[in-house]
Structure 1
């Protein structure tokens, strides 16, 4: 839990994932004792910030299948668009912000000089009768534009919700940005000392929350420059729980195969393969449909089958996203087994 909490606590909205990427590289390169890991994937970073790790097949790499596994580093938040004369910060949403849930929130303004604490206020009931309306601005305690400049705040600095975590009933973790840092953590744990049946590309992608842009750039790179013909694309991303269409999905009953969402349909033969593997190994797994999109969907347009793997997350895109730790551990186990057999 501590490693996942640390990873979730790093700020990084779409387009500004550099701090998250640095943390992931550190977690890949060092073990819990700060010692150098063995059998590391070959790491590189592309021009827009996707982190890429390659692990060759244990068999003949030239005749083996090619599989790419992705999880996105970015989180929802805000960009600063204006410094007001009254010391407030005007902001623009990055990704799917829940407007009803942002009033009265603690936030962090990430500047070139460090983090500045702030809040998004609210209107008390005492003043609503006087016609006072809510303004979506960030208040860092400054009284003028010059004070904002003096503390180092600039236009296009970014803002994230301040991260608070709770461990509930010893098995649930509630924390902002579990979407998709749990996926990033899954990839970290899945590529350590793995002996895959296929050539693997692990990628921690950028800008998923604003249109799967990192994954699209990744696909173009491999298709154009490396001439890699992928046999399967895997996205590890969140599964929104629980709506009318997926009431049967429950936290604590295993990872989810995201069979169908707004962007893609998981390949039926791969889904069956995973279900049989999970049954054989005694790993609980759930099958469901949801909304939203995923990074692997962009590969379908180039004829690459895909599958999306998840854990169910309650209160998605809020400050209190919640998952069950057992689901995450089972997802890591299932993904590793799949990559060693497919």
Structure 2
């Protein structure tokens, strides 16, 4: 297998909420460095590992129109040799920001990223730089009225076992620190895996595997971006710095292949192959997201066929990926997303099928080693 479980274990073991991704990024750098020509960091904490193509000395040979190729006079770019490619996954995970300590030593917190409050009660967390263990508790059921028993708690705290603000300080925990789920990886049946932070550590492991396996003439930038969970902030900086011709976000994709409200009607399934997005957005109208251009869609789809991988296609509603920033920040560029199906997204028990991840590696390697289609080569142009 191209994907190495030991690498995934290291990436998941490192912890990093939005704005605190350094340890994750450092592991990524160590893992990918042997397979690239250069590694750089920016001030936000994005890491970009670059393998230069045969003819690329990082010089810009694009024309003044922003196209890499030949304009036929109809505004159609017919070049099939688009050069620089950015593949990116994010380093941050859902976390909690400690915002206050009560007099009796409980930690109040703000949520970093799209948490579902129902996942919080009864969970174990690790807090601050020393990974102090804590628990998220609620009012006992014995003290709840009828309405409370059927609803989600409004006020939650992290309990470190401390009895005062001073004892919390002695544990080296203070406001501004992060807390993350106290969960690692659990092997399930049939090659499936559950745990925290598989969004997006599985994608970082895929990047390392692709860098190890590919033999492309293109210049390829493998980026580990920061602060995706709080608004794609790192992607915005990274794409300006790299300025690629093609940019692909690697992600997890919410699957619905389990009973939901008594029904079971799935569109994305674990074990059925990677998902190549048509688009995504924050609402059913696909506001604030990406619409994948036909050339990128054809490129990834053809790569799936070349690698003998069955792909799934869908639209992600209610969330976006770094591809949103890649497509529109700075000059326009080809952008899309490929994702590993995942059950129980944004939870401490995100669940994936490792075969889907391995096939994602195969598709990306095949894409990097194949030409990028011109507009005249795709249906609908």
TM-superposed deviation, 1:209: 0.5
Give matches, 1:249-260, under 5 Å: 249-260=268-279
Within the candidate set 149, 152, 156, 2:176 is matched to 156
Asked if 2 retains the 8 angstrom alpha-carbon contact of 1:56 and 1:196, the reply is: no
Moved more, 321-330 or 284-293: 284-293
Deviations 1:35-85 (A, max 9, x none): xx3x43310110110001111113455566111111000011111111111
The corresponding residue for 2:75 is none
The corresponding residue for 2:163 is 143
Asked if 1 retains the 8 angstrom alpha-carbon contact of 2:191 and 2:354, the reply is: yes
The corresponding residue for 2:356 is 327
Moved more, 125-134 or 299-308: 125-134
| Residues 1:54 and 2:81 are matched in the alignment | no
| Residues 1:101 and 2:101 are matched in the alignment | no
Asked if 2 retains the 8 angstrom alpha-carbon contact of 1:78 and 1:94, the reply is: yes
Q: Distance in 2 between matches of 1:219 and 1:281?
A: 28
Q: Distance in 2 between matches of 1:139 and 1:93?
A: 16
Give matches, 1:1-342, under 5 Å: 1-29=5-33, 37=34, 39-59=35-55, 65-111=83-129, 114-129=130-145, 135-192=155-212, 194-222=214-242, 228=243, 230-242=244-256, 247-262=266-281, 263-291=289-317, 292-301=319-328, 302-342=331-371
Q: Distance in 2 between matches of 1:233 and 1:2?
A: 27
Q: Which runs of 5+ in 2 are unaligned?
A: 62-81, 282-288, 372-381
Q: Distance in 2 between matches of 1:273 and 1:213?
A: 27
Deviations 1:194-224 (A, max 9, x none): 32232111110000011100011123334xx
Moved more, 275-284 or 174-183: 275-284
Q: Distance in 1 between matches of 2:364 and 2:278?
A: 16
CA 1:215/1:27 → structure 2, altered by over 3 Å: closer, same or farther? same
Q: TM-score, normalised by structure 1?
A: 0.89
Structure having the higher Rg: 2
Asked if 2 retains the 8 angstrom alpha-carbon contact of 1:11 and 1:19, the reply is: yes
SS at match of 2:201: helix
Deviations 1:248-279 (A, max 9, x none): 22110111101110010112222123222322
TM-superposed deviation, 1:6: 2.7
Q: TM-score, normalised by structure 2?
A: 0.81
TM-superposed deviation, 1:193: 5.4
Q: Which runs of 5+ in 1 are unaligned?
A: 30-36, 223-227
Deviations 1:6-47 (A, max 9, x none): 311221000000010111122224xxxxxxx3x433101101
SS at match of 1:261: strand
CA 1:3/1:193 → structure 2, altered by over 3 Å: closer, same or farther? closer
CA 1:7/1:272 → structure 2, altered by over 3 Å: closer, same or farther? same
Across the two proteins, how many residue pairs are aligned to each other?
326
Q: CA RMSD in A?
A: 2.2
